[in-house]
Amino acid sequence: MTKTVTKAGLLSRRRLLTTASAGAVLAASPFRINLLQAEEAPIKIGFPVPLTGPYGAEAQDQVRAGQLAVAQFNDAGGLNGRKAELVVRDDKLNPGEAATRTLELVEKEKVNFVVGSLSAAVQLAINNVTKERGIIFNSISQSDAINEAADFSKYTFHEALNPHMTSGAVGRYAFPKFGKKIAFLTADYAYGHEMVRGFLEVGKEFNIENLGDIRHPLGTTDFSTLLPRLQALKPDILCISNFGRDQQIVLKQATDFGVKKSIQIIAPLLSHASRVAAGAQAFEGVVGGCSFYWGIEDKFASTKAFNDAFRKMYDGKLPTDYGALGYGGVRTVLEAVKSAGTVDTEKVIAALEALKYDYYKGPQYYRKCDHQSVQSVLVIKSKSKDMKNESDVFEVLSTEEPSEKNLRTCEALGHKS
Amino acid sequence: MTEATESIKQSQTSAVGWYEFATRHRASLAAAAILIFPLIMPFTALAVNILIYGLYALGFNLVFGYLGLLSFGHAALFGTGAYLCGIAVVHFDWPWYAAIAAGVFGGLLIALLIGVLAIRTRGIYFAMVTMALSQCIYYVFYQAVDWTGGENGLRGINVRTIDLFGLQIDFINPLVRYYAIAAFVIAALFVMSRILASPFGAAIEAVRENEMRARASGYDVTLTRLLTFVLSGGFCGLAGALQALHLSIVPIEMLHYETSGLVVMIALLGGMGTFFGPMIGAAVYLVLENLVSVWTVHWQLIVGAIFIACVLFFPAGIWGTLIGRGRR
C-alpha cells in the first residue's frame, strides 16, 4: 500500500521534472526567440477611465470607441505591421487611484502613450504623472486648468472641449434668444465652477444679469429645496452646470416642479448617456452644448464613416458624445504614429502638432501653444418626437465653427508666445 | 506515553520560543518582509501604496487597537500631512527632507488640535466629534484653492532626484522609489515598536483595559490619550507626506471621510491591536481591489463578499487570528 503511494509519487515527480526540463529547453531554444522577434512588441496605449462610479456608462462607451480606433489601425496594417493595443484600467473616478494606475501603465505595462480620463481632477493627476516621465497624454475630458501653463507640458494634449469653449458656445446661442436674467445652479466642483466662469465671461458681451448662483455638492439626490429658491428669483434662463446622475435627477425634478413653464433651462453639456437614461420628458426643451452628436452624419462624411464602423463593430449601436472622444483621442495619437513612422515621443509630438484632421466631427487641429484641439461645438436640444431610432435624442440647433477666437488666448493661459 | 507528552511539551516550548523571538524582533521581521515585498506584488506603485496605507493604518491602530478609541477622522491627519508636504514642495520649493518633516509636523499639529477638542468624549461621541472636525479640515483645504488647488487637487509635487549627502537617487525609478519610501516606513516601524515596548506603551494599554484602575495607579489618563493621539498623527502625517511624494499629486479625496472609513476597514481586516496587522490589512485590501478591478467592473461585489468572509472566519482580523493560533 505504502509502496504504491511512494511509487506514484516518484513517478509523478519524474514526470514533473521531465516536463519542466522540456519546457525549459523549449523556452531557451532559438526557435522561440525567432518567433518573438518576428512579432514586435505592440504599440501600447494606456486607457484609464472610470468604469465604476457615476460616469460608468460614459466610460464604457469611451472604451468601445477607443477599441474601434485601435481595430481600424490594426486592420490597416498598423505601423509597418506593428499592431496597437489598448490597455484599459479603471480609475474609479479618483485622482489618487488614477495616478497609481498611470504609474502601473507606465512602469509595468510600459505603455507608449496614455489616452483617457473623465474628470477634471483625474486628468490633471494623470497629466502630472505622465509629463514627469515624458509620456504623451491625450485627455478626453473637459478641463480649463489643463490648458494653463502651470499644468501644461509639451507631452500634454487635450482632445476634448474645455468648459470655456462649451459654455461660450451655449451662452452665445442662448443669451440673445431667451433673455438676460440668468440664475445658476452649479455642482460645487471644478467642472461646475469653470462652466459658470465661462458663462459669466461670455455674458459680458450680452450684458446679462446674474441673479445668483446656488451650489450643490456632487452626488446630490434631492434638489427639492433648491428649485423653489431658484424659481423665486424669476430668471429668464436657469443655467444648470452639473453632469451625469446629478443632471438627470435635477432635470427630472425641475420638470416635476414646473420650472420649465416660465423658465428656459440651459446646460453647458447635455450628455447623450444621461439623456437616454433619464428619458425624453426630463430633458424636454433643455438646450445645451456637446462635442459630438451622431446625427451630424449627413453633414460630415467622417461622421458617417465613424458611425458605420461603430455600428458594425457593436451590433447597430451608435456612438455617444463621450464615446466619440475616446475614438478621437486614440485615433489622433495612432495617426500621428503612422505619419511619424515611429513611436518616438518627440517625433509623435511634432506629428500631432502638424495634424489637421477630420476623423469624426469635421475639421480639427491642435493649437500649438496649449495643445487644445480647436474644434466645433454643437448646440443641441433634446427631442421627444419624430425619433428615427433609439439614439435619435437630440436636434442640432446650431454649430459653432472651430475658431481660436473662442478659446482663451495663449497669453491669458500664461504661455509665452 | 510519557515520551509523547514530553515531545508535545517540547514542541510547545519551541513554539512559544519562536513566538517570543518573533515578538521581540517584530520590527526587524517586518522590515525583512517589506524588503522582499515588491518582488511578489503585481506592480511597484501598488506595493508603495500598500506601504503607505499600511503606515497610515499603523498610526491609526495606535489609537484604535492599543488605546481603544475609534477615531473617524484620521483622514484629516493623513491628508494634512500630504498637503503640507505638497505645499512645501510646490509653493516653497523646499527640499524633500524638509517637505517630509513639514508633513509629519502637519499630522502632529492637526492631531493636537483635534485631540484637544475631542479627547474628553467617549465611544461613539469620540467617533462623531473626530469625524466632524476632520470634515472642517476638509473644507478648509477645499476652499483654499490658491494653496491646495481645491477640487482639482494639488499638482506638481515633482521630486525627480533625492540628494542624499551628495548621492543622487533617481526618485522616478519605481524600485528606487519603493526602497526610498520603505526606508521611512521601516524607521517608523521601529519607532512604533519602541513606543509600544516602553513604559508609556504599557500605560496606553492600561488605559484601554481599565481607565479607572489606570487613574488609580497614578496615570494621567487624559494626557496619555492626548499624547497617543498626537503620536498617531505623526505616523499618519508621515504616511500622507510619502503619498504626496509618491503620486506627485494630492487629491482632495485624501481628506474625505471615506479615507477615514477605509483605515478602519484595513485595521479590522488585518487585526486591530496587533503590530503587523495593519500592514497585512492594507496589503490584502489593496491587492484584492486592484486585481479584481482589472478583471471585472463589478469588483466591489467580490471584494465585499471576501470582506464578509474575513469578518466571519477571522473575527480578530487576518493577522490577529493567525498569531492567535500560533500562540496556542
Range of A202's domain?
A: 164-290
Domains and CATH numbers, chain B: 27-327 (1.10.3470)
Q: Are residues A205 and A347 in the same domain?
A: no
Measured in whole angstroms, how far is the alpha carbon of residue B156 from the centre of its chain?
25
Structure-block grid coordinates of residue A134: 515624458
Residue A417 three-state SS: coil
User: Which residues in chain A touch residue B147, judged by CB atoms under 8 angstroms apart?
Assistant: none
Phi, psi of A353 (to 5 degrees): -65, -30
pLDDT at A12: 59
Closest CA to A237 of A192, A188, A170: A170
Residue where one domain finishes, among candidates A233, A259, A290: A290
Query: Environment class of residue B76 by beta-carbon count within 10 Å: exposed (0-12), middle (13-18) or buried (19+)?
Result: buried
Residue where one domain finishes, among candidates A247, A266, A290: A290
The reported pTM is 0.88
First to last CA, chain A: 88
The Cα–Cα gap between B212 and B234 comes to 28
How close B172 gets to chain A, by Cα (Å)? 8
- Give the amino acid at B289: E
Query: Environment class of residue B304 by beta-carbon count within 10 Å: exposed (0-12), middle (13-18) or buried (19+)?
Result: exposed
Confidence band (pLDDT; 50, 70, 90) for A219? confident
Closest CA to A103 of B250, B44, B177: B44
In this structure, the strands spanning A84-90 and A43-49 are parallel
Q: Which of A62, A63, A88, A108 to mutate to test the interface with B (most CBs of B within 10 A)?
A: A108
| A201 interface with B at CB cutoff 8 Å | no
Cell 423665486, residue located? A232
> What average pLDDT does this structure show over A106-120?
94
Closest CA to A206 of A187, A182, A223, A228: A182
Q: Are residues A299 and A268 in the same domain?
A: no
Residues in A 83-122 with any Cβ partner in B closer than 8 A: 89-90, 92, 94-96, 99-100, 103-104, 107-108, 120-121
> What average pLDDT does this structure show over B306-328?
84
Q: Are residues A170 and A313 in the same domain?
A: no
Q: Are residues A209 and A314 in the same domain?
A: no
- Number of neighbours of residue B174 by Cβ within 10 angstroms: 18
**A185 is a domain residue:** yes
**A198 is a domain residue:** yes
pLDDT above 70 coverage of chain A, percent? 90
**A54 is a domain residue:** yes
Q: Are residues A153 and A213 in the same domain?
A: no
Number of domains in chain A: 2
Q: Which of A62-71, B119-128, B294-303 is predicted with the least confidence, judged by mean pLDDT?
A: B294-303
> What average pLDDT does this structure show over B190-213?
95
**A110 is a domain residue:** yes
The Cα–Cα gap between B276 and B131 comes to 26
pLDDT at A368: 94
| B296 backbone φψ class: left, alpha, beta (φ>0; ψ -120 to 50) | beta
Strands (DSSP E) along chain B, which ranges? 154-155, 161-164, 167-170, 249-250
pLDDT digits (tens, 9 = 90+) for A376-417: 999 999 988 888 888 899 999 999 999 999 999 999 999 986
Measured in whole angstroms, how far is the alpha carbon of residue A289 from the centre of its chain?
15
Q: Are residues A346 and A269 in the same domain?
A: no
Higher pLDDT, A287 or B297: A287
Are B249 and A126 a contacting pair, CB within 8 Å? no
In this predicted structure, the answer to whether residue B30 has a pLDDT above a threshold of 80 is: yes
Are B141 and B255 a contacting pair, CB within 8 Å? yes
Are B107 and B82 a contacting pair, CB within 8 Å? no
Q: Are residues A130 and A188 in the same domain?
A: no
**A302 is a domain residue:** yes
pLDDT at B123: 85
In this predicted structure, the answer to whether residue A16 has a pLDDT above a threshold of 70 is: no
> What average pLDDT does this structure show over A325-346?
96
pLDDT at A2: 41
In this predicted structure, the answer to whether residue A202 has a pLDDT above a threshold of 90 is: yes
In this predicted structure, the answer to whether residue A217 has a pLDDT above a threshold of 60 is: yes
User: Which residues in chain B touch residue A129, judged by CB atoms under 8 angstroms apart?
Assistant: 247-249
Cβ pair A95:B251 closer than 8 A = yes
The Cα–Cα gap between A128 and A120 comes to 12
**A383 is a domain residue:** no
CATH number of the domain within which A311 lies = 3.40.50.2300
The Cα–Cα gap between A102 and A121 comes to 14
Residue where one domain finishes, among candidates A290, A305, A323: A290
Q: Are residues A251 and A186 in the same domain?
A: yes
The Cα–Cα gap between B35 and B27 comes to 12
Confidence band (pLDDT; 50, 70, 90) for A145? very high
Longest dimension (CA), chain A: 98
pLDDT at A9: 45
Q: Are residues A234 and A284 in the same domain?
A: yes
| B151 interface with A at CB cutoff 8 Å | yes
Cell 486585481, residue located? B291
The Cα–Cα gap between A270 and A293 comes to 10
Confidence band (pLDDT; 50, 70, 90) for B8? low
Q: Are residues A216 and A138 in the same domain?
A: no
**A19 is a domain residue:** no
Q: Are residues A72 and A185 in the same domain?
A: no
Q: Are residues A177 and A200 in the same domain?
A: yes
In this predicted structure, the answer to whether residue B9 has a pLDDT above a threshold of 60 is: no
The Cα–Cα gap between A380 and B168 comes to 56
**A391 is a domain residue:** no
